[in-house]
Amino acid sequence: MSKSLHQNSNSDQLANSAQATSEGRTTGMQVLRQLQEEHRQSESGLGKAHFYNRVALGVLWGATGITIGLLAIILIYVIVNGIGVITPEFIFTWPRGVNAEGGIWPTIIATLYSTGLAMAIATPIAVLAAVYLAEYAKQGKIVKTIRFAADSLASVPSIVMGLFALAFFVETLHIPLSMLAAALGLSLLMLPIIMRATEEAIRAVPRYIRWGSYGMGATKWQTVSRVVIPTATPRIITGLILALARAIGETAVVFYTMGIAINMPIVPIDSGRSMSVHLYLMAVEGINLPAAYGTAFLLLVIILVLNLSARWISKRYSRIDGA
């Protein structure tokens, strides 16, 4: 792999070095610079800097090419191998036998159920917390502590989150291995993401809108609830969608909180197996690789759709904002 990566970067360098320089010119990197370059080339010895420049820019092109290439390879590989598996039967039926045949319907429901529940738990808390940080809090020690806590929460390894959910929700609060326990764990994961997005969204609301509201005699809460939050809503929704995408792909948190037996969840205390756990088990057991490809494909499609819709919303919003 590393060998092929190297070859890739070399060929990219060669292919792109020419392009790089032409790019530099067309992007208008100052006529002055071009003159300097010509001047430099005319002098002996200074051509070296120019040579290094070309090589380095080629390396930059190569690195970016590798990055894009990795994404493309993963996407193409999963899509090519997975799309053939996807049939209505695969999506809407139960697995059969030792999961070697049949579909993945219960796992899809379990994934949507738990992440939906997690979102319902995390969203109000996270949004109100962000409102506090952005609108109410005096910038001081408390805010610093809260922000540090949110940062830490965001960086807690997901398996530690899973361990905690197991020890606290399942073993201490005696919630059975279920959608609810998984959702509680996932909501901890989503909390800092939504908080950060909401706080940024609220801070991006221009001040004069607030002043207008205060000027008409509105109280703080009236201003926040009817002026600030509605204005910030598109961005908040973008954050929610990204948090949702993160939670749908999450495996380690739900592994020891949701159960791993395939089951169709009806009430929140039903157990089940999420798509991500299903994919993991299929990949490790190796008895039904097509199902693994299909599950990976569906997971990727869900996450791509969520990411793209988040992008679309924020773009639409920025266009409205600009107009």
Partner 1 sequence: MSERQTNTLDTPDNSDTSDQRSTHKADAAATADSLRTDANPDKTSLTRTPTVELKDFADTARAGQAPPPPRPATKLQLVSRSTQIKEASLASLFFLCAFFAVLGVMLIFAFVAWRAFPITHEIGLWNFLTGTKWSVAEGTFGAVPFIVGSLVMTGGSLVFGVPLAVLTAVFMSEVASPRANKIIRPAVELLAGIPSVVVGFFGVVVIVPIVANLVGGAGFGPLTGWIVLSIMIMPTITTLSEDALNSIPMGIREASYAMGATKWQTIWKVVIPAAKLGIIDASILGMGRAIGETMAVLMVVGNAPQIFAGISAPISTMTSQIVLEMGYSSGVHRTALFGLGAILFLISMSLVLTVRLLSREHRKKTRKVKKGNTA
What part of residues 254-293 is at the interface with partner 1 (CB under 8 A)?
255-256, 276, 279-280, 283-284, 289, 292
Per CB under 8 A, 125 contacts partner 1:
yes
Per CB under 8 A, 112 contacts partner 1:
no
Contacting residue, 110, 117, 118, 150, with partner 1 by CB under 8 A: 150
CA dist., res. 228 & res. 222, Å (int) = 9
- In the region spanning residues 211 to 230, those forming contacts with partner 1, defined by CB under 8 A, are 213-222, 226
Per CB under 8 A, 18 contacts partner 1:
no
State the nearest-atom distance from the C-beta of 18 to partner 1, in Å.
Answer: 14
Interior angle at CA 269, CA 109 and CA 162, nearest 5: 80
State the nearest-atom distance from the C-beta of 46 to partner 1, in Å.
Answer: 9
Per CB under 8 A, 145 contacts partner 1:
yes
Q: Smaller CB distance to partner 1: residue 113 or 274?
A: 274
Which range touches partner 1 (CB under 8 A), out of 47-55, 87-95, 100-108, 174-182?
Answer: 47-55
CA dist., res. 306 & res. 134, Å (int) = 26
Which range touches partner 1 (CB under 8 A), out of 61-69, 92-100, 175-183, 263-271?
Answer: 61-69
Q: Smaller CB distance to partner 1: residue 106 or 249?
A: 249
Per CB under 8 A, 64 contacts partner 1:
yes
State the nearest-atom distance from the C-beta of 151 to partner 1, in Å.
Answer: 5
Per CB under 8 A, 241 contacts partner 1:
no
Per CB under 8 A, 59 contacts partner 1:
yes
Per CB under 8 A, 305 contacts partner 1:
no
Q: Smaller CB distance to partner 1: residue 109 or 229?
A: 229
Q: Is 86 left (phi over 0), alpha (psi -120 to 50) or beta?
A: beta
Number of residues binding to partner 1, judged by CB under 8 A: 111
**287: how many CB neighbours lie within 10 A of its CB?**
13
